[in-house]
Structures are given as structure tokens and as C-alpha cells.
Structure 1
Amino acid sequence: MRKKLYMMLAVPMCASLILSACTKDQAAPAAGTTTAPKESATASNVTPVGQFPVVKDKITLKVAIRGSSLVEDMKTNGYTKWLENKTNVHVDWTILDEKSYQEQLNLLLAGGNLPDVLMNLDVSPEQQMIYGEQGTFVSFTDLIEKYGDNTKKIFAEMPEAKSAVTAPGNKIYTLPYINDCFHCSLDYKMYVYKPWLDKLGLKEPTTLDEFYNMLKAFKEKDPNGNGKADEIALIGGTAKGVSKSDIDVFLMNSFIYDDGNKRMIVNNGKVDVAYNKPEWKEGLKYLNKLYKDGLLDRQSFTIDKEGLKKIAENPDIAIGGAIPAHSPSDITIVEGKSGRWLEYQPIAPLKGPNGVQKTTWLAYDKIANGKGQFIMTNANKNPEATMRWADAMYTFEASLYSNFGVEGSAWEKAKPGDLGRDGNPASYRLLIPYGRVQNENWAQYGLNYRTDKDYYAGQAVLKLPDKEKMYYDITKKNYDPYKPKIDEIIPPLFFSPADSQQLAELDKTINDYVKTSIARFVTGDLDIEKEWTNYVATLDKMNLKKYLEIYQKALDGKNVKK
């Protein structure tokens, strides 16, 4: 029976949303207690680096992890058993709710009865700083140097991973989670129903004007041939957090860079935002024109991903023309009977009136944007063994077990002649597709080092169409040429506790206002010409200047550290 942590009381949230105010009255620990001692009392139980198991006598670690609807039971799971056999480390699991895990994490941190490890709980850099300085979280810096061979290799191969998890003072409170998925990094795509283009004799649009004309043809020329005006030319979607179907992102990148989240940019080392610029205004005017002309569906600011999928998979006859999404799996049933997952194809970014043609690049998503996926608490009595256990998860074999399952059942080694998605010799064969409810793998939880070369491109192509190869090829062709430079993107940053408290309030106030204003300008609830000046002035009153100063200070500190 899995042990679950249930919320028994409401947690009063602090204004900072990161519990800093809730814990600020706690006494600070003595200097030096945030880093594990040179050698703990249990260090003698740890075997030499490179040898397995990692401990001579079996130990038990208490681990709190986010639950997954795709995993039946972490205790009896195939990967759990394999990892325990390999390392001699048993796990006593505390499973947090898949949706409310962050609230439950707050309870754990406030209650003081901590597990040894917090895993896959998206602990923010702000929380890492606060609880690290208090001594609640233990720095891995010295442990990596002595026990983390695989971790050091990752830092050498991917320096940005080390940078993302290194807090001021050279403290590393979380080990990195690496998912170097190429097509996922260029995630804001526009999918167009290609059979309609073919029927109407249209080429894929390359400019905003051509895109408008395509939508108009979809709306007015009955491309599904049923004699009804039931075609939805363009529709976006929304979500509680970040949505890859937000209607503004793909199209706004024809005017000014839109990162799909906080709409921040870096110009020559200076932090700025896109949403108060004249180019942003022009982008909103274009979206408003689509809306007024009936080409952008009115549900675009209310419908969720499941609703979009119902439109794209409408029974018997297609009704959706263009839909922004991460991949076909967001809006269609991959390998489903309708075949729509192959018929919706992503078009390249469109050239805007001033020649702007960009795509959103989630350059740091591959390292979870610095969020804590493996954190050790001061309750842990086996820091050296914990480091060895965690480091073992970074091997390629462990990644295959963690994400797919048991060798011979879920995957097997590649056979002579097998080619991967990049045309080079494959590393492995996948026998059972990912995404089903099962008890062989952790459904991408734990620590991972999934590189594009070995993990994604290294999978043998056993049949065509191969969806991952299709995603890779179209992303390489249509999106990779239009990504911005890396120094134009805000990297993961650490903020001081004082700045974190102020930033949390400013961040929510400003970004909620921007998101609401996008919807109101696009739908005409706010007149773009009459209300733009007031909109910009309201952002200034919300202290946008201070907001940018806090980010600039953190970015400057990171650049100095380099």
C-alpha cells in the first residue's frame, strides 16, 4: 500500500508564495551548516566510487516524490527493484498528490518532519536559497566533487546545467534533471490541417498576410466539403499555468520575441520585457483583426487542451484549420484511427511586416529551468550514500529503466543494422510505447540524463512513420533556423530572500495583468488605440521598473560568477 501525504488543514500562504515569510522568524543556523560535513558517521559504509552496490550494508532512505497517474506502485515498481538491487539502497516512499504536491511540500517544509530526499517536487530557486541558508537543505557541492563521477561528467558536457543549479556562494542544493529533447525546446508550433491546404490549392503560408488569407479561405470556402459553415479557421487554448496553445506566442514572434511565459528578453545584457513595446501593440492589433473578422475563434481564451483535442479529432469530418500546440499529441490521438495526427503539420514561423521571423526557444527547459528535482534535507544521515545513489540514476541504462521499464520487456539493446532517428547506429529498441499505466518505470521521474543524441536520436526506427523522428525532422527544418541567440534569453536565476519576497508579489501582479490584457485587447474588450497608453502607464504604476531591476541584479550576479 503506498503511503500518501494528505492535506489535513489549509495552509495560509505568504505573499511571496515561497514560504519565506512563514519561516523568517526561525533562527538562522550557524555558519557552515548548509554543507554536508567532510565525512558523516555513515561514510565508512559507502563503497569506492565506480563500484556497486554503493553501500556495503543496506540502508533505507525516506523519499518524498510527486505521484504519477502512469505508475501503479512505486514500492513494487520494476525500476525501483532494479535500482535497489544495483545500489543496495531501499526507499521508504511518501507519495504526494500529483496535482497538489506543491501545497503538500509546503506542509512538509513548515512541519519540520522532513524526509531524507525531496524528489521531482519543482522546488523553486527562491525556496532553495531560503531553506539552504537556514540549513534545511544540504549543499551537494563537496559531495559531487568526491562521489559524483556521473554528475561531474554532465557538468563538463553541459556547463549550463551546473550554472543553472549553482546558487550564490557556490552552493548546489539540487542535482540537475536533464531532458535534452530537441523538438521540446522549440515548443510553440502552429499546426495546420494540410488536407485543407491541398484541397484549396494553397501553399503553406510564409508571411502574416498569407496566413490571414489562408484562414479566410478556411472560413469561407468550405474545405471540409459538407456544405456547412462549421469550419474553425484558427483556435488557441489556455491552461492554469503555461499553455503551449496560447494564441499570442507563435504570431507575436512575427513582431517581437515572445518567450511564452514572462515575455522577457535580454538586449545586450540588459533585461527588458516585450509587452510594453510598440511591436507588441502591433502584434495585438493583428490578433484583434483576426478576431474581429471571425477567423480567430471566440473560445481561444477559455478552451483547454482536451477541448482542442475534441475539435481536432471531431468525428467523421474535420472542422479545425490551425491550432497552436506543442506536438500532435496535444491536439490529436497519436496513431489513432482518424489519422489526424499525421494530417496536422506545423508550419514555419511567419515573416512579419518588419522582417521579424522568430520562434520561441526554451533553451533551459532541458534542465528544468533550475527547479529542484533532487534535494537532500538535514534529516539525511547518509549524505555520501545518497550522492552515490543519485549519481547512479544518470547512467544511460538507468535512464532506459526509469523511462521505459525492464530490459527485455520494455526495451532491448539495438541489433546490428538498426539505425536511430539521426541515421546513425541505434543504441536501443523500444518494445512498448511510453504513456501507458504500468509498473515497470517511474514515468520520467527520478533523476535523468536524457541527451538528444543517445536517448532520442539513439532509439531504433523500427517502423514508419516514427513519431519522434517526425517531430525531430520538422523541428530541425521549420523551427531551428529561427531561434534567438542564447544570450537573448533569461537563464535560470537565483534571487536573495529579500528580493524573492518582493519579486513574487510583482511577478504575479504584473504577469496576471499582462495575460488578462492580451485577452481583452484581442477580443476588443479594450480598444487598442484608446487604451494602450493607459495600459503602459498601469504597468509602470505596478513598479515594472523595480521588477526589471531585481532581474537585472540577479543576471549581473550570474554573469560575474561566470
Structure 2
Amino acid sequence: MKKQMSIVLSSALSLSLLLAACSQKEETPEAASSAKVTDAGSLPITTDKTTLRVLMYGNSLVENFATNEYTKWLEEKTNIHIEWEVAPEKSAQEKLNITLAGGDYPDVIMGFNVTPVQMSLYGKDGVFIPLNDLIEKYGVETKKMFNTVTYAKETITAPDGNIYGLPQVNECYHCTMSQKMWINQGWLTKLGLQMPATTDEFYEVLKAFKEKDPNGNGKKDEIPMSGYVNSGPEMFLMSAFVEKDMNDMIINNGKIDVAFTQPGWKDGLSYMRKLYAEGLLAPETFTQDLNGMKKMSGNPEIILGSAPSNYSGSFLPSADRVKDYAAVPPLKGPSGMKSVSLNPYGLSQGAYVISNKAKNPEAAFRLADFMFSEEATMRAVFGRPDQEWAKGGANDVSIAGEPAKWKRLVTLTGLQNYGWSQTGPSLRTSAFRLSEAAAPGTQETILYQETKQKYEPSKIDADKVVPPLFFTKDQSEELAGLSKTITDYKKEFLARAVTGDIDVEKEWDGYLKKMDGMNLKRYLQIYQEAYDAKQKK
């Protein structure tokens, strides 16, 4: 999954441009359309050819949006022609900010994942039109999406009750529990070891990896465990000591807190320190990037015992190696804690926004609504039927082990001109993704089985996960500074504690005091205010 949903905070530049633009209040366009739209759910969408001006986020995997096969198919089906302005990926956000600040808005802004802050501000100012009435009157596919993705409507609704942007839905089952640990199954088998179930057993396994020459080359070159920057072992290991979501936060009885100031976090640091001190955790963990990790795992001697990652293919040199690594189940810690971090939200906000410049907002909305249909989604993401994908055959088995609904004939990985490569609105639910045909032993089937059998039984309750939130401009601006300061210090303290640069026992109280000095309480207060506002909607 290319995009995982997270809470995006506006940059200082974005906020200044937002303020500049919002001072230029404009009237919402009249409801009358420049071309008649047909009945909800019917095609074509307009009886007369209609043109929409669209500002699109560039995609390096799409050759040309104007000549794209999916674009042609959309126009043929809907009678809507798109006049494109494509913003290059590297400068896309800057282009959006300048466009909004200048007041020369296109009819539609697509693919930018416009932030909740931007949607609230421009929506309140009338630049982005509310979509509620259009959804009620014309949203055949949007309503289906709301019914299927039960959290979607609440997530994209602003605090004022309006919906200003439509999402892209991409639910990835194994990604909802992505903080996994992968271990060399061959080494376990060779040494006669069972899959570890507790933190103590995991320690003993790593120790055996270091001391008993599981790769059989007569050298002590094995690396029992390693990670890399932004994919450290704490993501998996800390869940044996403290409950947390994937952002190291937690909701208990309606109150938001952070996991990294809890006593269990301290115990987790001490455990990781033990692993590091005994040479069971590679020093490179805190400095190497993914390329360094792949070089380590690609050593022809096979020296890597375990590593944290969403899926083993991310750090292994080739796909044929994924079968060699199995997921370590959630470990039970010394206090009996055993949990799995969770992110149940699989959508990106602001994928499609209609401006007050649209002369035919009904047609603009109907186009996005149609994109949520299964046929449109298949073409947008996977290409042409019976060329890049096809319906499942009688003998095709899905990722989930059921009769497959569809299968890929060609995987679109490089530059192509058949689909939009996950740009703009589309609807891929978890059930849809799992209905794809896949052979046993491939990465997707392994991920599904390991997640379903090992991780799902211990996942934290969804109501303990901090959901996507709408922040005000002032909250967002304040959070941007607080979040960076707090997160940087959390990472620094973790690395220094694990590597032995500081003593966890002696420095823990000082760590908590420094967090207080960084205004952690205010950080949590802002989150709590936004969460409480969401609960009142």
C-alpha cells in the first residue's frame, strides 16, 4: 500500500498561503448547471459534452493523464472531458498553495490529499464547496462506500458538519497490523528451536542465533536481529510491555495519552538494552537506511536472523526469499502484556475537492462518485479488463483462500498509460483486495495468513486507537512544532538508552521532566480537544 493514512499537519508556508487566500472571500457558485446532468447513477453523466478544469497531482508512473486509457474510458462513459493541469510531484504542494493563494482555482483539485486543515479553512471561506447535498442527491456510489467503509463518513466530515473532500479508500488488511517481526525459519528449524512466544524466549532464540552458527559456515558472522531508521525493533517489541497504536498513542476511557512515558516503555527500553549489550541487536539499526538493510540481508552467507517490518519482502533482496522468513507472533512480556498495535483506518482524505469556480458542480461530483464504482476502480488502479486483469476463473483461489473474484494478468509497476496508478478517488476495501487470486506461498498469501492467525487475536481494541482528526489552523500550527520536538527527543532517548549511552534507570525521571518541559501536556490537550469535538459531531 503506497499510502498509509496519517494525520497531516500543515507547514508554515501552507498556513501563510491559506491565510492569504482566505482573505479573498468569494461567492459560492449558483446551483444552476451549465449542462444538464442525468439521473443519479446513470450514464452518461451529462447530455451535452462538459469540460472540467482539473489540477492533478503528478504521478511518475503515469505517462500522460490526457491520453491515458482510463481517462479516455471515463470521457466515453460520462461525456465529461477533462482539461488537465498536472503538477510535478516534487513541486505539487507548492503549486497547490500558490494556486489557492492566487484565487485562480480549477473546477476540481484531485490527488493532492488536501489536508483537513485546508479543507476546513477553504470550506469555511466558500472556496471549497460542501458536498453534503450533492452526496444526498447524486451519491449512489459514495453512499455505498459509506455503508461498506463504516468509518469513512465520520472521518471526512469537518467539525462544522460539512464534507469538503472525497477520499481514496485503500484498505490493506495486513497493513492494519503492520508492526511485525520476521525471523529466519530455516535457522529455527536447524537449531531445533520453537517459535518464541515470550520476550524471554525471544532472547534465548537470538542468543542461539549468535552462538550456534545457524548458517553453518563456521564463522561467528550471524546478526541475530537488525532494523533500520524508521523501522526499528521497538515498533514490535514495545507491544509486549505497553499498549499503543502505531503512533505510540493510546485512548483509555476516552482520554488520549502517549505510550512512551508509561512505566512499560521504560521496561521495554531496558529489555532492548539487554539485547544490544549482548550483541543480539545490530548497532547499524539506528543509523542504516533501507538500502543498508537490504545489503545486510542479501549477504550470500545468509547472516540475518530477524528484522522488524510490515512485510519481509521490504528488507530482503529478492521475492524468492520471503518464504524463508516467518512472522514472530506478538510476544508476552514479563508482566503478561501481549498486544498488537492497530491502525484500522484505510483512507486518504482530500483526494477530490470541488471549488466554487465549478460551473457544473453536479457533474464534477458525479464524476468522482462514478470513480468509486468497482469498474472504474479496477481500470484506474489495475488497467484494462482482459489485458492487465481479468475475472477469476473456476480454479483461482484468493489471498483469503476463497474463490477468487479477480486476478492480475500484468502487474503495472513502471511507467504506463493504462491507469492512474492510485491517483484520485477509488474504492478498494479489505474484502476486495483479499479477493484477488494468489498462489500459496507468495508474499500476499503469507502476509494474510500470518496476520490472521498470529496478530489479529491480540490486536488492541479499535476504540483505543487515536482516529484521524480535524485540527483548527491554530491547533495545527502549534502541533507542528510540539510534535517534532517531542518525537525527536523520544527517538534520541530511545537510541541512547538502548546503545548504553545513558542509563535508563538513572535517566528516566529526567526524561519525563524534559517531556514536561517540551509541553507534552499541551500536545495531549490539543489532541484531546480535537478528539472531543469529533465525538460530539
- After TM superposition, the score normalised by the length of structure 2 is 0.93
1:22 shift after superposition: 4.1
Maintained 8 Å contact 2:65/2:71: yes
The yes-or-no answer on 1:17 pairing with 2:9 is no
**Whole-Å separation in 1 of the counterparts to 2:442 and 2:73:** 29
Residue 347 (structure 2) pairs with residue 367 (structure 1): yes
Tell whether 2:269 aligns with 1:284. Answer: yes
The alpha-carbon distance between structure 1 residues 307 and 152, as it changes in their structure 2 partners (threshold 3 A), is same
C-alpha deviation, 1:71, in angstroms: 2.4
Superposition map of 1:90-489 within 5 A = 90-238=81-229, 243=230, 245-261=231-247, 263-314=248-299, 316-333=300-317, 335=319, 339-364=320-345, 366-368=346-348, 371-453=349-431, 455-461=432-438, 463-489=439-465
Q: Are the aligned partners of 2:185 and 2:325 in contact in 1 as well (CA < 8 Å)?
A: yes
Q: Which runs of 5+ in 1 are unaligned?
A: 1-13
Q: Secondary structure at the match of 1:114?
A: coil
Tell me, in whole angstroms, the C-alpha distance in 2 between the residues paired with 1:123 and 1:15.
10
Distance 1:198 1:489 in 2: 37
Letter in 2 for 1:158: V
Please give the alpha-carbon distance, in whole angstroms, between the structure 1 residues aligned to 2:10 and 2:87: 24
Is the 8 Å Cα contact of residues 249 and 258 (structure 1) preserved in structure 2? Answer: no
CA distance in 1, matches of 2:412, 2:311: 15
Identity score, percent: 44
Deviation string, structure 1 residues 20-56 (Cα, Å, up to 9, x no partner): 344436665779x57x65x2332x4222112112122
RMSD of aligned alpha carbons: 2.2
- Residue 475 of structure 1 aligns to which amino acid in structure 2? T
2:21, 2:101 within 8 Å by CA — same for their partners in 1?
A: no
The count of corresponding residues between Structure 1 and Structure 2 is 529
1:475: how far off?
A: 0.8
TM-score, length of structure 1 as denominator length: 0.89
Q: Matched residues in 1 for 2:90 and 2:245: separation?
A: 25
**Equivalent position of 1:526 in the other structure:** 502
Structure 1 counterpart of 2:192, which letter? G
Whether the 8 Å contact between 1:18 and 1:127 is mirrored in structure 2 is no
Q: Cα gap change, 1:468/1:16 in structure 2, threshold over 3 Å: closer, same or farther?
A: closer
For residues 379 and 432 of structure 1, do their structure 2 counterparts lie closer, same or farther at Cα, with a shift above 3 Å needed? same
Q: Quickly say closer, same or farther: Cα 1:334–1:398, change in 2 above 3 A.
A: farther
| Amino acid paired to 1:456 | R
Cα 1:320/1:231, change in 2 over 3 Å: same
Q: Distance in 2 between matches of 1:529 and 1:421?
A: 47
Partner in structure 2 of residue 499 of structure 1: 475
Q: Contact 2:24/2:103 (CA < 8 Å) preserved in 1?
A: no
The change in CA–CA distance for 1:354 and 1:400 in structure 2 (over 3 A counts) is: same
Is 1:40 the equivalent of 2:17?
no
Q: Which moved more, 1:153-162 or 1:67-76?
A: 67-76
1:27/1:84 CA distance change after superposition, 3 Å: closer
Query: Which stretch of the first structure deviates more once superposed, 423-432 or 289-298?
Result: 423-432
Match for 1:550: what amino acid? I
Map of 1:10 onto structure 2: none
| Alpha carbons of structure 1 residues 98 and 25: separation in structure 2 relative to 1, 3 Å | closer
Moved more, 100-109 or 124-133: 100-109
Q: Is the 8 A contact 2:185 2:324 kept in 1?
A: yes
